Amino acid sequence: MKKMSNTALNKIGDTIRAQRHDSDYKNAVEELNNWREAHGAILDSYYNKCVKLSKRINKIDIIVAQRLKRLPTIIGKLNRFENMRLSSMQDIAGVRIIASDMEQLSAIEKRISKWRHLIRVKDYISNPKNSGYRGKHFIFEENGMFTEIQLRTQFQHIWATSVETIDILRGTSLKEKDDNSYWHDFFCQVSSIFAITEGTPSISVYSKFGITDLCGLLQKNMDEHQINKKIASYALTEPIADNMKGKKAYYIVVTLNFKEREAAVISFKESEYHLAFKEYKAREQNNPQIEQTVLIALNQINKIRDAYPNYFMNLSNFLSIIDFVLAKNKKKE
């Protein structure tokens, strides 16, 4: 695909935002898909750099994954922010690095900060979002295309993917806004407890709370609303349809049917990017009301469920960590 001008990209975005659903709209969506697919080469380049970096620091513990942003998410973002321009959307291509802890995260951060073409850093660890989201985002730009590298600890990652799982099942967007629910309070409380555990700032509403008091608030919230029971009921009810090719797998298309509570995995070789994207695009259009699909690559295939637990509706580790932290910081009578 030839390089597109910012004017042409923004025209595509404006046509999609108008939501007329005529031939112009369909053509704009197809051009957006072509633009999205064209990010594959630069995404692979940053993914491979991140994999090499992770191996130098720790060959076992660090998970590196890449993904192309989902079409419904791109369109939703264009519609949600009226001033958003497609040419300036910085996270169509994304690499995620999951470190064990803050020490490992800092070691990775120091190296990434020195890479060429870095144009922006978003620090949601020192300044967590009001939703409780924490992590560091590094934005790179080359040849008119952006790549976002997300850096998280395991605590930050399991929190974020658990929020996404609950959002899928409730049809909400806790990551983006406060819906005044006990779920919002629950995730804000957990985020703040995790932050204190990692020695980083918690969200402002809980900044003056100690971990014991926070755990007390969290326990009360969980008991009143039977959160443990509700989360436990969200597990997959059907076996995962797994079409993996072992060590030959490079690109992976994961589809979660959250109505039937089953997931399907289809893998492709490194040389089959176009086929993988074609499958991804087709599955996205199947039934977006009950399915979500993602196209990813992963440095450790056996850790796919750790990298994307939200696509396997796996909240058991999240619950186990919460139970451990609550037991450890239980207020003495």
Question: Which one-letter DSSP state was computed for residue 332?
Answer: P
Inter-residue contact 277 to 37 (CB < 8 Å): yes
Model pTM score: 0.92
The residue assigned the tokens 């899928």 is 168
Mean of the pLDDT values across residues 50-76? 92
Residue range 227-250, pLDDT digits in tens? 988 888 776 655 555 555 544 789
Rounded distance, CA 97 to CA 151, Å? Answer: 5
Inter-residue contact 179 to 163 (CB < 8 Å): no
Three-class SS of residue 82? coil
Reported as a pLDDT band with limits 50, 70 and 90, residue 10 is very high
Question: What is the residue-wise DSSP string for 200-231?
Answer: SPPPGGGTT--HHHHHHHHHHHHHHHTHHHHH
Residue range 265-295, pLDDT digits in tens? 899 999 999 999 999 999 988 777 788 899 9
Strand partners for 295: 68, 253
CB atoms within 10 A of CB 17: 18
